[in-house]
Structure 1
Amino acid sequence: MRRRVAGNLLWMLAERGFQIGIGIAVVAMLARALGPAGFAHFQYAQSIVLIAASFALVCGAEVVVPRLVASPAPATQHALLAHAFVLRLAGGAIGYLLMCAYLGITSPGPEVWHAALWLGIAILLREPFGVVTAWMQSHTNNRPGTLFSLAALAVKAILVGSLFAAGVHKITGYAAAFAIEAIILAVLLTSYYFVRVHDRDFAWQATQARELITSGALFWISFILMMGARRVDQLVLQPAVPPADFGAYAACMQILDNFTMVASILVAGIAPAYVYAKAAYAEAHANIGRIALGIAALGLVGGMAIAGCAPWIVRLLYGNAFDATVTLLRVAAVASTLVFADVALTLLAVYLRRPRWVATKWALVFGATLAFDLIVIPRYGSWGAIAGYALGNGVAVLVGLTLWWRHRPAPEVASI
């Protein structure tokens, strides 16, 4: 059993690592093909889409997987998955309509519209059909899902590479490649599920749907707030600065998004053995502190390395047209250390099963970041956004440290 769990985890980590590598290559080609202004339009559209996509996570894996494990009967599992699919599809439709409403109100250029409409197809596909991934997780069998994800990602990379090699400079073609990735993944997941599950009778039950929504509400709200906090800086910055400046900032954040993903990968590999498996709260609490300190130190070392190599990294990935990204990256890379600490400190809420803590944290981060950005970005542009990025992550770490300290074990318990 341990070997199966370890193998399952390795497949998950391999997928993330491959995604980082391919993601960096794809973004580099996009930046070089579209230039600073075109890349700015693409990244702005992607930020809007990512926020809208969070509405599709009505009942995430945190809600679905434990129920699948507790109910192994195929008919029961299918009914649960069907309800989750419908709810996620409805949430995705709401997110897509909200995205269109936001674009209609803000009236960006046609490039942003075209990119968002294509990229937004993933809102309607990725999370709804992702219920099959949750089904695989409940059977401790992530290998097929990982292979499907990697196959779809490879197709996207080939399409983007072909467009780049052909000298295409239009946003629409590259955005369509992202949509095709989501379509391929949805088809592969659905085909795999239908081949293996034959009892697919389904009757809608409002009670079960309501229970899924209620159970996953805090996780859903937390994810929406998190995505809002992570992307609101770009929504505020885009109308305040020229496209080239926004493109430079977006390029900086794209590098850091890939870098900080390492924190999630490390924590996913460490937490099961050193936190979740600990029955004694005192031991789990102490390990969370050690993990947070170690992960933060690693993030600081990595951030300083990126800051030192910023000119080489930017020119290698994006070319000389993005020289303005170098100075932004030097500061933001060091500030990204806070993300590593926050990811580790979140383990306490997961261990104690306190989703309310996570929702409260992201509400505070979102509110603080939005208020700060609205005041500072119009005056200081990209540097105001960098300061907001540091402030938001600082608030997240402060909340995590406060919860970790306030809920430390009593001295007599810790000494046992």
Structure 2
Amino acid sequence: MVHKIATVIGKLSPGLRQVIDNISWLLVERLFQMGLALVVGIWVARYLQPKDYGLLTYAMTFVSLFSAIAQLGLGTIVIRDIARDPSSKDETLGTAFVLQFIGGIVTLVVTVGTISLLKPDEILTRWLVCIVATGTIVNAFNTIDYWFQSQLKVKYLVVANNLVSAVYAVLRIVLIRLQMTVIAFAWAGLAETALRGLARSIAYSINGNHLSRWRFSWHRAKTLLQECWILVLSGLAVYVYSKIDQVMLGSLLSDTTQLGYYSVAVKLSEIFDFLPMIIYQSVFPKLSSLKEKNPEDYLNKFQVYFDTMTLLWIGIAVPISFLSPYIVNILYGKSYAATAPILSLYVWAQFGTNFGVARSAYLAVEKKLHYSLYSSVFGALTNIAINAILIPRFGAIGATIATIMTYFMVIIALNFYLRELRPVGKMILRSLNLYKAMTRLLGLVR
């Protein structure tokens, strides 16, 4: 069996083998962390119970609405630029780090100020939001990830991240055994973010690089900001239309229990979201370079990319949807039984993630990122409107329906309305022919 696999891999091009090797390492990382999440994360949810778990989720989701300010949408641009010109890494990474550090400070101020206005009498909620938002400053060290992704060298990064995840898991277990309150888990999350930044720095140095060589350039900052401002606005809109359901559940309903049920369904549905992300991280640099070298082959490879996203979506949604009652009962217990019908429906919304990530890659390579902004703003407005109607009447189920409707309009239908996005719409339609999609995918190894 091993010999057959080696023979098949040997037939692949060096570039494709590098992509597969990168995916393999990222897969190891995600599977390890997913295992920890299933054991420790579920233990935390059981310990906190739906109400407190919903409150912690509300704080984390609220901060995520503003996190695009801290990230500045630089990831895709920095990875693309370093992949094309590796010699520019120190200036590009140094500039990106400073910009994201400043963005984190702005995010903290804006987030804490907003939650203070919205919930002036809820001290615990404000503290949770403040602690979680502080992590956006430390997340400036995520800049290091961009170099590893641009070079398809993630081995050291995977080891570092897994070590931190193990420490974080032990820390949360200790908090449970000590019967600590919900705010202690927020502090633990901040500590994990700081440790992850330290681990990334060590991995970067071990790989022969030096943070001391990073340098900030006003000219480079101006260039990055000129292109990334669209991604910042787009990121804000994306978080609104993908996370506003949880914020509105926590705001429109007096009890956070419904949010606790819903957040568990979302977490279980998104447990395999690392797959489209690691595929994106591994193929994006190759697609960027292929665009310049061989435009025809570039489009063929993009079609295979969409085929992969479709097969991945169907392969995950079907079993989770049918087995949702058993999954929820075994993992979370009877206190979360109301999560099962939400999960069976919500998991089908994952086409939004799969196709959305693939479309973002296409727009980044084609330098049409402004369409990400248009679609995200449209999605944000649509999702807010539908949630405002459905949540007061149907609670978590209403939020689930709103998510599916929004994703369909933004990720699918909009491609056929806007002329520049029609190539994406065609690739999605072709990928829905599962037989041909599988044939094209298998054609890579023949």
- TM-score, normalised to structure 1's length? 0.86
Larger mean CA deviation between 278-287 and 374-383 belongs to 278-287
Q: Matched residue pairs, number?
A: 405
Cα drift, residue 408 of structure 1: 6.6
8 Å contact kept, 1:160–1:174: yes
Partner of 1:412 in structure 2?
none
Are 1:231 and 2:243 an aligned pair? yes
Task: After TM superposition, list the pairs within 5 Å mapping 1:4-403 onto structure 2.
Answer: 4-58=18-72, 60-69=74-83, 72-73=86-87, 77-107=89-119, 109-126=122-139, 128-164=140-176, 166=177, 168-193=179-204, 196-197=208-209, 200=212, 205-241=217-253, 242-266=255-279, 277=290, 281=295, 284-285=298-299, 288-289=302-303, 291-292=305-306, 295-395=309-409, 396-400=411-415, 403=421
Partner of 2:8 in structure 1?
none
Query: Equivalents in 1 of 2:260, 2:174: separation in Å?
Result: 23
8 Å contact kept, 1:264–1:343: yes
8 Å contact kept, 1:132–1:190: yes
Query: Equivalents in 1 of 2:118, 2:136: separation in Å?
Result: 20
Partner of 2:422 in structure 1?
404
User: What amino acid does structure 2 have at the position aligned with 1:404?
Assistant: R
Cα drift, residue 340 of structure 1: 3.1
8 Å contact kept, 1:240–1:381: no
Structure 1 unaligned regions, length at least 5: 410-416
Query: Equivalents in 2 of 1:90, 1:116: separation in Å?
Result: 19
Alpha carbons of structure 1 residues 325 and 7: separation in structure 2 relative to 1, 3 Å: same
Query: Equivalents in 2 of 1:397, 1:104: separation in Å?
Result: 37
Identity within the alignment, %: 19
8 Å contact kept, 1:345–1:400: no
> Cα deviation per residue 1:154-173 (whole Å; 9 max; x = unaligned)?
11111112223x15251122
Larger mean CA deviation between 117-126 and 313-322 belongs to 117-126
Structure 2 unaligned regions, length at least 5: 1-13, 428-446
Across the aligned residues of Structure 1 and Structure 2, the Cα RMSD in angstroms comes to 3.0
Alpha carbons of structure 1 residues 12 and 401: separation in structure 2 relative to 1, 3 Å: farther
Cα drift, residue 22 of structure 1: 2.5
Alpha carbons of structure 1 residues 132 and 283: separation in structure 2 relative to 1, 3 Å: closer
> Cα deviation per residue 1:123-168 (whole Å; 9 max; x = unaligned)?
1112x1122222333444322222221111111111112223x152
Alpha carbons of structure 1 residues 399 and 283: separation in structure 2 relative to 1, 3 Å: farther
Cα drift, residue 405 of structure 1: 4.4
8 Å contact kept, 2:62–2:247: yes
Cα drift, residue 314 of structure 1: 0.9
8 Å contact kept, 2:149–2:282: no
Cα drift, residue 369 of structure 1: 0.7
User: What amino acid does structure 1 have at the position aligned with 2:232?
Assistant: W
